[in-house]
Amino acid sequence: MTVALGYTRPMGSQWKQKHRLAAADARGRLFGRLAKEIAIAARNGADPDMNATLRMAIDAARKQSMPRDTLERAIKKGAGIGQDAVTYELVTYEGFAPHQVPVIVECLTDNRNRTATNIRVHFNKGGGQLGSSGAVAWDFDRRGIVAALPPEAGDDADEAAIECGADDLQPGDEGATHFLTDPAELSEVAGALEGRGWQIESAKLGWISKSPKALEGEALAEVEAFLERLDGDDDVQEIYVGLG
């Protein structure tokens, strides 16, 4: 028993250190993705007062405590200011995760060839199947998605959706609600929710599955492992999956 206890201490210490490193790495990836969103938005102007998309991207970054210098550097990159100017483009890939679960992967990249190669490797090694454009998009709806937290005083999400012009809503993470809108009405709905006191976490276009698959056990674990592999790629910005 003494020997067993002696070995559990360093193992626990190693796990905690690994967990801290993993958390730091995840935060670095989050900042990288937020910075790309800011840079893309800044192409239409570096002044957030005149660029609503940029303002929402900045707000989302600030909510995650992005350092100010990182935020400002992302704006300059996207707006073409200074030596660090860079051009990101949105590239979309379609295919299937294991068990024929449809997946749409959106990437922001400054190098199409690098990204295409990496995505192909992820699909092949993860047991998926990369398809051509349109392979699974027919099984998704293009929607505006506003992720928002309710005001401190409280507000009924269903009533807010009706009053603010959202078409539907879904539960989000950590108490948030996802309000679904027509793509053309995204900014209008986000503004109306903000006016009612809702805290907007993000407002962007996305894909909603029409007929999500229900999996469990080993099959679900295989799909989740595939998605985690994709999510670990720095160029991957969003992953939409037909999984219920």
Q: What is the pLDDT of residues 154-185, one digit of tens each?
A: 888 899 999 999 999 888 877 888 999 999 99
The answer, yes or no, to whether residue 6 has pLDDT greater than 80, is no
Domains 2-79 and 140-209 share a fold: no
- The CA distance from 177 to 169, in Å, is 7
Whole-model pTM?
0.75
Q: Does domain 89-138+211-241 have CATH number 3.40.50.2000?
A: no
Q: What is the CATH number of domain 2-79?
A: 1.10.10.200
- The CA distance from 11 to 16, in Å, is 9
Q: What is the CATH number of domain 140-209?
A: 3.30.70.980
> 220: alpha, beta or left, given left = phi > 0 and alpha = psi -120 to 50?
alpha
Ordered by start, the domain boundaries in the chain are: 2-79, 89-138+211-241, 140-209
Choice among 6-15, 162-171, 203-212 with the minimum mean pLDDT? 6-15
Provide CB contacts within 8 A for 173, sequence distance 6+. none
